[in-house]
Amino acid sequence: MTDHSQPQPQPQPPHPVDHELVQAAAHIARTRCRGDNHTMAAAARAADGRIITAVNAYHFTGGPCAELVLIGAAAAQGAHELTTVVAVGDRDRGVVPPCGRCRQVLLDYFPSLKVVVGNGNARRTVPSPACCRRRTCGRTTSSISGRVRSRCDCGGVPLTCGQTREPGRCRSATHARCRRQRSVISMNMPSQ
């Protein structure tokens, strides 16, 4: 017979949410995002514990998202390793997941980066490779460039044209149809 009088411990999420980081991004969104030119704020935790913040630079030609500005700001401040990132919208929109372009760039620059997504009780931290395609061996591949982000000996990845790309070697420049297919797959990944 089981004793149900003692409360069962709640399982901990695999990657706890960095609430200080979310608050920093929300503060920047509230105080620095004014008008239509700056509508998103991002914050990242550097490997040394510092918090780096940035805002987007909207432009009709496709100005950089806050996450991309954040990568440059971090580099300018000497923070070349980021551990966690979050983006928050202005006007109390809350946490906003990265767009497809930002997902790809974050994965390419920081393969082990964690990304805070969701709002309220659904807020969680997910690894950045969750945003991109999984290889059959479980290792991740950059879905646009085709570069293997970690050593893999699965024998290659079948492309939509039927040819095979060896691990670590990208043929996407000669297989434009495959590159477009991978790009569409990456952009259509559901938000975590």
d(CA 157, CA 17) in angstroms, rounded, equals 33
Do 35 and 123 fall within a single domain?
yes
Q: Is residue 163 part of a domain?
A: yes
Q: How confident is the model at residue 34 (pLDDT cuts 50, 70, 90)?
A: confident
Pairing verdict, β 51-55 and 114-117 = unpaired
**Which domain does 176 fall in, by range?**
132-192
Residue 128, Cβ density class (10 Å: 0-12 exposed, 13-18 middle, ≥19 buried): buried
* Active-site residue, 166 included: no
Q: Comparing 183 with 50, which gets the higher pLDDT?
A: 50
CATH number of residue 102's parent domain: 3.40.140.10
Q: What is the pTM of this model?
A: 0.64
Among 20, 67, 81, 166, which one carries the catalytic annotation? 67
Average pLDDT, the chain: 74
Does 121 fall in a domain?
A: yes
Q: Tens of pLDDT along 43-72?
A: 999 999 999 999 999 988 888 999 999 999
In the DSSP assignment, the letter for residue 83 is E
Q: How confident is the model at residue 128 (pLDDT cuts 50, 70, 90)?
A: confident
Domain count along the chain: 2
Q: Tell whether 120 and 46 lie within a shared domain.
A: yes
pLDDT computed for residue 181 by the predictor: 41
Q: Are residues 32 and 122 in the same domain?
A: yes
CA 147 vs. chain centroid, Å, equals: 17
Do 153 and 102 fall within a single domain? no
Residue 12 lies in a domain: no
Q: How many Å apart are CA 44 and CA 183, to the nearest integer?
A: 26
Q: How far apart are CA 51 and CA 44, in angstroms?
A: 6
Type and span of the H or E element at 88? strand 82-89
The residue to which tokens 């998103």 are assigned: 40
End-to-end CA distance of the chain: 40
Torsion of CA 3, 4, 6, 7, to 10 degrees: 150
pLDDT-based confidence at residue 161 (cuts at 50, 70, 90): very low
Which of 130, 160, 178 delimits the end of a domain? 130
Identify the residue with better confidence: 74 or 62: 74
Express as a percent the part of the chain with pLDDT over 70: 59
Per-residue H/E/C for 105-161: HHHHHCCCCEEEECCHHHCEEEEHHHHCCECCCCCEECCCCCCECCCCCCCCEECCC
Q: If pLDDT is split at 50, 70 and 90, which confidence band does 180 have? A: very low
Q: Which residue has the higher pLDDT, 75 or 158?
A: 75
Q: Please check whether residues 24 and 81 belong to one and the same domain.
A: yes
**Which distant-in-sequence residues (6+ apart) come within 8 Å of 17 by Cβ?**
116, 123, 124, 125
Residue 35 is predicted with a pLDDT of 87
Whether residue 99 is predicted with pLDDT greater than 60 in this model: the reply is yes
